[in-house]
Structures are given as C-alpha cells and as structure tokens.
Amino acid sequence: MALLEVKDLVVEFSLPEGKIRAPDGISFEVEHEEVLGIVGESGSGKSVTALAIMGLVPSPPGKVVNGKILFEGKDISGNIHELRGKEISMVFQNPLNSLNPSLKIGVQLVEVLQEHLNMSEREAWNRSVEVLKMMGIPDPETMMNRYPFEFSGGMRQRVMIAMAMLCEPKLLIADEPTTALDVTTQAQILKLFRKLKESSKTSIIFISHDLSVIAQIADRVVVMYAGKIVEKARIDDIFEHPFHPYTRGLLKSIPSFYKKRKSRFHSIPGNVPNLMNPPRGCRFHPRCSDASELCREKEPPFFKVNGSYVSCWLYQRGADHS
C-alpha cells in the first residue's frame, strides 16, 4: 500500500471572470521512503495540489470538488487537522511569510512540539535545538532567541525545514523551497534535502518548475501541464527516454555546461492556455508540433511505455492502455 494516494483530484476556483480547474482530475501515489518530484510551468496546479493534500486550499474562491486523498489507505479529507504538522508537514516557498515576524524562532518551534506531542517546554526546547543543529544552523541555542528577520533567506528556509521535521512526519511536502534563493544557497538546501532523504524514513513530495533541480533529489517524477498530468516516470527514465512532447521541451530548455551552445536556448513555442477556457482534447496540442486531429478533439488517456506513463496519442499503438 502506498503512503499517499491522490485519485482524480479536482480543485475549482470560482472567480468573477469564470471558473478555473487546476489541478483537473489528477492521480498519483507516493510510496514509503520515496521522493516524488512534481514539475511544470507556473499555473499548472503544482502548489494547489500540495495545498489540497494539506487541506489548505483558500476558500473562497477555491474548493476541492472531486477526488480522494488517501493517507495510509484512509481518506483524510475530514481529519487532515489531526495529521497536519504531525504526520504530514509542508515547507512553503517563502519562509519569511510563513514565520511569525513578532515571535522568536524558539517560541515557534517549541509551540509545534507542545501542540502535537504534548512535550514539556524544556523537552520541546531541547528537541528544537537538536533539529536546528541537524539542519546545519550554527549555535542553535543562540539562534532560538532570535527573530525571523535576523536570519538570512537560506537560514530561514532551514528553520522552516526544521519546523516541518520536528515531529518526524511520514510525509514532507516541499513547495519550491529553493526558488527564492541564490544559486549557492539553493545548492546547500538541496544538499540538506538529500541528507534528509538518506537519514530519515520520511517520504517527500518535492515541487519545482525546474527539472534540473528535481533530478538532484527525486526517485520518480510527475510532469504537469495546464492542470493535467502528462507523464509519470522514474527520474532516470525521464532524462534518458522522455516521451511526452512537453517533457522533451522542458528538457531541451535546460542549459548544459558540457555542450557548446551554437544557437539560442530552446523554448517551447506559444503560451500556457487560459484555464477558464482550456483547449479541447490534449491541452498541449496548440504548442505541439506532433499534434494530430485526434489530439485536437479527444483528451488522451495514459499509455504505459517502457515503464513510464504518458498521456499522449502518439503512443496509442504498441502501448498498454491505462
């Protein structure tokens, strides 16, 4: 049994201009002690998927209108409050907005342990210092008495990861945790996640718009486009044998230090569609050079090709239907 199963998840946003669905009918699973990467352009529904799992979709205007989220085989739609912070934790993209600026770091960390594990203040303090040290924060005793604004961006993100790992959750969701950081700090945070992957039994959902970042941490990857999943595969297979035209476009857009560039960087032509009025059929077909009439008329199912799952009519023949 998978640790987490997301089945046919649909989140709908009701706006004055119309309704948007993103994600729109997606399904995936996260195995025990696995790192699943979710990648795609802005607006594809990655972060909303994470918020839906955590029960944090802003309402209004958002609402989960369909699907199930199963954690260890149980539907968690009604009792996510009991699991959030203890069994399932989340690291948000901007740590400055996630930490209370008026409270010292120590107060915020201790509060988590007292709330979820009923620890005494001294026990919670010692545990917080221990986890801050694990996250590579120097002189954690002193840092516990400082406010968020006294930390650099990278250190604030380490504090957020520490807060998420205090209760040793079974699932950690990291929503673009390196996006707002400089390249050097980004590498340090990725190294920290790799250390967590090796030293803990926590499963991780790592969300990013950058496949090169996902490649450094994930075991499997889910590729999203315009609210839909278009490909699911092991990370090595995605890089060696990408099947969906969108996945191939993303990979071509990654700069390489080893190949001499003779022309401009590759870019996928066109723009992401307006999800208030998404294209009929495959949502990628307006930007796809391989699109056929079938792509324009009918949404493709998933086909199993060499261990990967791809939602593309190009693989209708010679593939297992899913």
Residue 124 lies in a domain: no
Question: 173 with 90: CB under 8 angstroms?
Answer: yes
The pLDDT-based confidence of 256 (bands split at 50, 70, 90) is low
Question: 211 with 238: CB under 8 angstroms?
Answer: yes
Residue with the bigger pLDDT between 289 and 96: it is: 289
- In total, how many domains does the chain have? 1
Instruction: List Cβ neighbours of 23 (8 Å cut-off, separation of 6 or more).
Output: 9, 10, 11, 45, 48, 49, 52, 224, 227, 228
* Confidence (pTM): 0.92
Residue 146 lies in a domain: no
Residue 11 lies in a domain: yes
Q: How far apart are CA 179 and CA 227, in angstroms?
A: 21
Residue with the bigger pLDDT between 107 and 43: it is: 107
The percent of residues above 90 in pLDDT, for the chain, comes to: 73
What pLDDT is recorded for position 258? 47
Residue with the bigger pLDDT between 260 and 29: it is: 29
State yes or no: pLDDT of 95 exceeds 80: no
Question: Edge-to-edge, what's the strand order for the sheet holding 320-321?
Answer: 88-91, 171-175, 203-208, 35-39, 220-225, 228-234, 308-310, 303-305, 320-321
What pLDDT is recorded for position 182? 83
The pLDDT-based confidence of 253 (bands split at 50, 70, 90) is confident
Structural domain including 49 reads: 4-87+167-257+264-321
SS3 2: coil
Q: Average of pLDDT values for 11-39? A: 95
Q: Average of pLDDT values for 24-52? A: 95
Residue 291 lies in a domain: yes
Q: Of 231, 219, 170, 169, which Cα lies nearest the Cα of 194?
A: 219
Residue 253 lies in a domain: yes
Instruction: List Cβ neighbours of 222 (8 Å cut-off, separation of 6 or more).
Output: 28, 36, 37, 38, 39, 229, 231, 232
Residue with the bigger pLDDT between 117 and 95: it is: 117
State yes or no: pLDDT of 162 exceeds 50: yes
Residue 122 lies in a domain: no
State yes or no: pLDDT of 260 exceeds 70: no
Residue 108 lies in a domain: no
CATH code of 24's domain: 3.40.50.300
What pLDDT is recorded for position 288? 94
CB count within 10 Å of CB 97 equals 9
Q: How far apart are CA 264 and CA 14, in angstroms?
A: 40
Region at 313 (left for phi over 0; alpha for psi -120 to 50; beta for the rest): alpha
| Mean pLDDT of the residues in the chain | 91
Residue 186 lies in a domain: yes
Strand partners, 209: none
